[in-house]
Amino acid sequence: MGLDIEANKKLVEEVLEAYPKKAKKDREKHFQINTEEAQTCGTCALKSNIKSRPGVMTPRGCSYAGSKGVVWGPIKDMVHISHGPIGCGQYSWGTRRNYASGTLGIDNFTAMQVTSDFQETDIVFGGDKKLEVIMREITEMFPLAKGISVQSECPVGLIGDDIEAVSKKMSKELEMPIVPVRCEGFRGVSQSLGHHIANDAIRDFVLGKADLAETGPYDVNIIGDYNIGGDAWASRILLEEMGLRVIAQWSGDGTLNELEIAHKAKLNLIHCHRSMNYMVEHMEKAYGIPWMEYNFFGPSKTYESLRAIAALFDETIQENCEKMIAKHKPAMDAIINKYKPRLENKKVLLMIGGLRSRHTIGAYEDLGMDIVASGYEFAHKDDYEKTFPMMKEGTIIMDDPTAYELEELAQKMNVDLVGSGVKEKYVYHKMGVPFRQMHSWDYSGPYHGFDGFKIFAKDMDMTVNSPVWNLIKKKETVQKEEASI
Amino acid sequence: MSKDRLDIPDYNTLFSEHRFVEQRLNKQQFEAPCSEQETAEALAYSQSAEYMEKNFNRKAVVINPHKACQPLGSIMAALGFEKTLPFVHGSQGCNSYFRSHLSRHFKEPTPAVSSSMTEDAAVFGGMSNLIDGLENSIALYKPEMVALCTTCMAEVIGDDLSSFIGNARQKGVISEDFPVAFCNTPSFVGSHITGYDSMLKGILSYLYERSGLKAAPGSGEETGEKLNVMLGFEPYTGNFTEIRKILDAFDTKYTLLGDHSGNYDSPATGEYEYYYGGTKLADVPLAANALGTLSLQKYTLKKTQDFISETWKQQVSALSTPLGIAGTDKLLEAISELTGLPIPASLLEERGRVVDALTDSHPYLHGKRVALVGDPDLLIGLIGFCMEVGMEPVHIVCSNGDVDFNDVKFKEEAEALLASSPYGSEATVYVGNDLWHMRSLLLTDPVDLAIGSSHLKFAAKDAVVPLIRVGFPIFDRHHMHRYPILGYQGALNLLSQIVNTVLDELDRNNSGFNYDLVR
C-alpha cells in the first residue's frame, strides 16, 4: 500500500513556504515524492551533493569529518594527527564508537586526540617545521605505532603548508608510512568529499604495499564497515561461519597491514558504498578484484546478501550459507514474532548520513514498520537511484534536509519514530516524538547481522513503546493544531 | 617527581599485605584449599618514570588536550540571550561539531547556523554566504538577534564581519534596526573560554552602544537592577538555579548577563521552540546602570570585565567559580559589598547545615590525594574545596591555563592558594599540558581520586583511579549538570559525589573480611 502522493507533495510545498525566494527555489530541488516513474528513472528531479544554503541549519559536516572522523580515525594502529587548531580533533575524539581491540595509547590509538594545536604563530609562519617535530615525538611517545596520517584542518590548506613534502621526508627518516590527507573542511560540500580524499590517500600511500604469504579461494575484504558498536564483528562472524576468510576489515578495528594486503582478496564486500565505493572501484580496475554491496540490516536483507555472496563461491560455501541461515532463522523469526506486533504500521522518518537511510529500510520492514520519509545528509545521485526503488510510492525522499524541514515534516506527518543524529535527537524528545540515533546507535549496538538485529529490534521497541512519551503533557495549542490537520 | 610519603594503608590494603595473606593461607589447611593469587604485573614502558621524562620533554605534539576552540564558547554565550540565534561564519563542519559537542554534554538541542563556506568562499571571501545566511536563518528561525562569530577559516582569509553586516543592511536583507552582535573567534587563539568571553563582550557592548543610553552606575536601583551577575562558560545549568536562589535570598534585584540555563534545561511539552529563556535584550543597556557586576569566572571573563569597568564605570567583583564553603563565603561577601545588603540568615543557616555534612564526611576524605583537570576558574574553586575538607591536590593539569587576571597568571594564583594550606604542599600545577601528561603523573605518582571531565576517564582507567566527573564535557554520565556545584548547596553536591565515590571504592575493594554496614 502506497502513501498519498498528492498529499505529501502538498505537505512539502507547505513546509518550504517558510523560505525566502532564492532558498525556496533551491530547496525544492532536493525533495521528491516517490512515484512509479521515479522508481525507474531514479533521480529525475532530485538534486544532491551540491552546496547547502547558508544559514539553514544543515545537518552536514565537513571533509575533515569524512576523512578523520569516518575513514582514517578507526584505523587503530596508526596515529592520526589532527593538523591545525585544537577544535576539530577535540570534537571528533571518541564520539563515533568505532570499537577496536587493543590497548589504548599502546597499540590502539582510536580514542586518542593527537593534534598540532595551531597557535597564531603557526598561522603566520606555517606549521611544516612543527609537523616534523610532531612526527618524531609520536614515534617516541607511541613506539608501537605502525604509521601516521596527517588530517589537515582548514587553515593548513589556506596558508599553503606543504604537508606532502613533510610526510615524504619524515616517512624516510622514521621508516614508516606517513600519509598526508588534504581533507580541509572547506573542501567540497559535506563529509562526502572527505571520504573520497581519504580513499585516494589509502590508494596512493598504503594499498598493495605488503604481501599476504598464503592466499586462498575464499579470501574476502570487509570494506566500509566502521565497527560502530561492534558492527563489523557481528558481520565478520557470519562471513567466517560461511567459510570465507576475511583478510582485511576497513576501517573499523582495522590495521595498517590490512590496508596493505587487501589487494590480495578474491572479493571485496562493501557495506558503506557511499564512503568507500572509490576504493572498491579502484581495486577492481587495478587488481581485478570484483566487488559487491551487501546489507546486513535486518534478517531479510541479511539472508539475501548472504546468498548473493555465497553465489559467487562454490557449492561448499553455498551449502554452508543455507545451513547458517537455517540455523539462525528460528532466532530471527522469534525476534520478529515478539516485536512485530508491537511495531507494526508505525511510521518512521529517517535522515541519516549516506547509506543507512536506505540500508536500514529492510530491517524496519521486517518489524512491520513503514518508512514514510527518508533522506540523506550527503548522498550522491547513485544513492538515490538505489533508494527510489526500495521505497513505497508516495514516500518523501529528501536531500540534505534542514532542521526546520525535518521538524515540520515529523509533526505534520505525525510520525512514530525519527531516526537521525545527536544534533536532532533532543529536539524530538521535546516534541515527544520517539527518536533513535542512527549514526552511532545511541550508544547501543551492534545492529549488523543476526546478533545485531536482536538489538535493533529491542531498541526500536524500547524507543517507540516507552511509557515516557505518555508522560509529556502536550500544550493545549499543540493538541489543537494536531486535531485540525 | 614523586615525593617521600608515609603511607598508612586502609584496612583493605593492610589485610592484603603478605603477612596477612600468609596468615590466612596457613589457616587454609583447616579450610577448603584456595589457589594462590597471581599479583606480579610488569609495568609497561609507558608507565615508567623514563617514559614520563620523555613525555614531559615533548615540544610540539599535543595528546588528549583538555580544551576546545573559541566558537564553541561563543555559541554558549549567544544562547544566554533571549531569542538569539548563534551564527557561525565559516565552514559548516565546525558548526555541526559545536552543536553535537554541546548537545552531548547537556542532552539538549543546540540551535546554531553556519554560513556554509566552501572552496569558492575561500577564494572570494564569505560575504555572499553571510548575507544569504542572514536572510535564510532569520526567515526560518525567527530570532530577535543574531550573534555572529567566526571560524578559523573566516579568520585566515580575513573576512570583515562589520562591513559584511553593513552590506547586508544596505541590501535590505536585514533591517537597519535588526540586532546582529558579533565577535572574532579564531580557533588558533585561546580556547572555548576565550570564545565565551569574546561573544559576551560582543553582545553587551553592541546592545549597549546601539541603545544610545549612557552608563549611570548606581541609578539602576530605581529603574531596574542593583547588580549584574555573570557565570561565564558554565557547564552546570544547576549553577544558575543556585545563584538565583542565593541572590533572591539577599532580596536584591539583579540581571544575569548571559543565562543559557533555559536553553539547556528546557521542558518536554510536545513542542520545540528553538529559544528558551535567556537574558532579555532590553535588560542589557539597563545593566549599565547597576551598582556593580559580579563575575564568577574571572579568568574566563577578563575582556568582559574590563569592558564593564571601563565603559560602564562599575565596580566589578571578579571571583573564580565559588566552590566549597570558603568560596561561597567569598561570594556572599562580594554580593553584600556590591549591594550593601547584609548576608541573609537563611544562607548562614544553610552554611551551617552543609558544614555539618562536611564534618560528618571528613574522615573518609582526609588526606585523599587528588588529581584535578579543568578550566582555570573551575580549578581554583576545586583546589579550595579539596583543601578545606582535608583532601590533598597533587597533580593539577590545566590545558588552557595560560591566562591572567589583573596580571596574575592562573598558575601563580593556583600555587599561592596551594601554598596557603599544608594540604596543598604536595601539589604541582601544570599549565598548557594535556591529559597524556596527566596519565604519566597518575602512573608514576599515584593518587586516590581523579576529578575532571569525561575526557579524563582514559588516563584514570589506565592508572586505576576512580574518576569523579566534574566540569566540561561530561558525555558519559547523565544529568550531572542539573545539580549545582557552586554555593553551599553545590558544596554539598560535590561532597556527596566525592565521599560516596570513596565509599563505593571501599566496598568495591572489600577483601572479603569486612562487612561494614555502617559508615
Summarised one tens digit per residue, pLDDT across range B153-194 is 999 999 999 999 999 999 999 999 999 999 999 999 999 999
**One of A65, A234, A265, A363 is an active-site residue; which one?**
A65
Residue A27, H or E segment: helix A21-28
| pLDDT, position A479 | 54
| pLDDT, position B11 | 76
CB contact under 8 A, A18 and B63: no
pLDDT tens digit string along B364-394?
Answer: 999 999 999 999 999 999 999 999 999 999 9
A329: nearest Cα among A295, A298, A370: A298
Strand order across the beta sheet in which A291-293 lies: A245-251, A219-225, A267-270, A291-293
| pLDDT, position B512 | 78
SS3 B170: helix
Compare CB distances from B100 to A113, A153, A423 and report the shortest one's residue: A423
pLDDT at B10 over 80: no
User: Mean pLDDT for chain B?
Assistant: 94
Q: How far apart are CA B109 and CA B101, in angstroms?
A: 10
| pLDDT, position A230 | 94
| pLDDT, position B225 | 73
Give the pLDDT band of residue B16 (cuts 50, 70, 90): confident
A138: nearest Cα among B436, B343, B421, B514: B436
The percent of residues above 70 in pLDDT, for chain A, comes to: 97
Task: Count Cα atoms within 13 angstroms, Cβ side, for A45.
Answer: 16
Q: How far apart are CA B50 and CA A273, in angstroms?
A: 46
Provide the grid cell at B34.
Answer: 584456595
Q: Are A355 and A274 in contact (CB under 8 A)?
A: yes
The percent of residues above 90 in pLDDT, for chain B, comes to: 87
* Distance in Å, alpha carbon of A392 to nearest chain B alpha carbon: 29
pLDDT at B218 over 90: no
| pLDDT, position B38 | 34
Give the pLDDT band of residue B223 (cuts 50, 70, 90): low
**One of A27, A80, A97, A195 is an active-site residue; which one?**
A195
DSSP string, A259-290: HHHGGG-SEEEES-HHHHHHHHHHHHHHH---
Mean pLDDT lowest among A43-57, B161-175, B242-256, B494-508: A43-57
Mean pLDDT lowest among A30-39, A55-64, A398-407, B371-380: A30-39
CB contact under 8 A, B71 and A87: yes
| pLDDT, position A475 | 72
CB pairs under 8 A between A and B: 272
CB contact under 8 A, A141 and B188: no
Residue with cell 621524562: B53
* A469: DSSP letter: G
Residue B315, H or E segment: strand B315-318
Q: How far apart are CA B112 and CA A297, in angstroms?
A: 33
ipTM over 0.90: yes
Q: How far apart are CA A197 and CA A176, in angstroms?
A: 21
Q: How far apart are CA A424 and CA A403, in angstroms?
A: 7
Stronger pLDDT, A476 or B406, i.e. the higher one = B406
| pLDDT, position A485 | 44
Give the pLDDT band of residue B21 (cuts 50, 70, 90): confident
pLDDT tens digit string along B316-331?
Answer: 999 999 999 999 999 9
Q: Are A258 and A250 in contact (CB under 8 A)?
A: yes
Compare CB distances from A472 to B90, B140, B268 and report the shortest one's residue: B268
* Distance in Å, alpha carbon of A93 to nearest chain B alpha carbon: 9
| pLDDT, position A43 | 65
Bridging pattern class, strands A347-352 and B404-405: unpaired
Provide the grid cell at A411.
Answer: 509533526
SS3 A228: strand
Q: How far apart are CA A302 and CA A242, in angstroms?
A: 13
Q: How far apart are CA A302 and CA A318, in angstroms?
A: 14
Task: Count Cα atoms within 13 angstroms, Cβ side, for B361.
Answer: 26
Bridging pattern class, strands A31-33 and B315-318: unpaired
Provide the sign of the torsion angle of the four alpha carbons A134, A139, A141, A147, taken in this order: positive
> Cis ω on the peptide bond leading into residue A446 (within 30° of 0)?
yes
Residue of B nearest to A61 (CA): B93
B58: nearest Cα among A123, A138, A107, A119: A138
User: Mean pLDDT for chain A?
Assistant: 95
User: What is the pLDDT averaged over residues A459-480?
Assistant: 85
- In whole angstroms, how far apart are CA A58 and each of A399, A403, A423, B68, B134? 10, 7, 10, 22, 14
A433: nearest Cα among A396, A472, A397: A472
Active-site annotation holds for B34: no
pLDDT at B118 over 90: yes
Compare CB distances from B96 to A60, A93, A112 and report the shortest one's residue: A60
Q: Are B378 and B324 in contact (CB under 8 A)?
A: no
CB contact under 8 A, B270 and A155: no
pLDDT at A103 over 90: no
Residues of A in contact with B134 (CB under 8 A): 55
Residue B390 phi/psi, 5° resolution?
Answer: 90, 10
Residue with cell 552536514: A60
Residue of A nearest to B137 (CA): A55
pTM score, whole prediction: 0.95
Residue B316, H or E segment: strand B315-318
**One of B152, B229, B386, B447 is an active-site residue; which one?**
B152
Provide the sign of the torsion angle of the four alpha carbons B376, B377, B378, B384, taken in this order: positive
Q: How far apart are CA A130 and CA A137, in angstroms?
A: 10
Compare CB distances from A472 to B69, B94, B270 and report the shortest one's residue: B270
Active-site annotation holds for A62: yes
Q: How far apart are CA A75 and CA A256, in angstroms?
A: 7
| pLDDT, position A481 | 54
pLDDT tens digit string along A415-469?
Answer: 999 999 999 999 999 999 999 999 999 989 999 999 999 999 999 999 999 999 9
Residue with cell 564483528: A233
The percent of residues above 90 in pLDDT, for chain A, comes to: 93
- With a CB cutoff of 8 Å and minimum separation 6, the contacts of B18 are none
pLDDT tens digit string along A385-414?
Answer: 999 999 999 999 999 999 999 999 999 999
| pLDDT, position B32 | 56
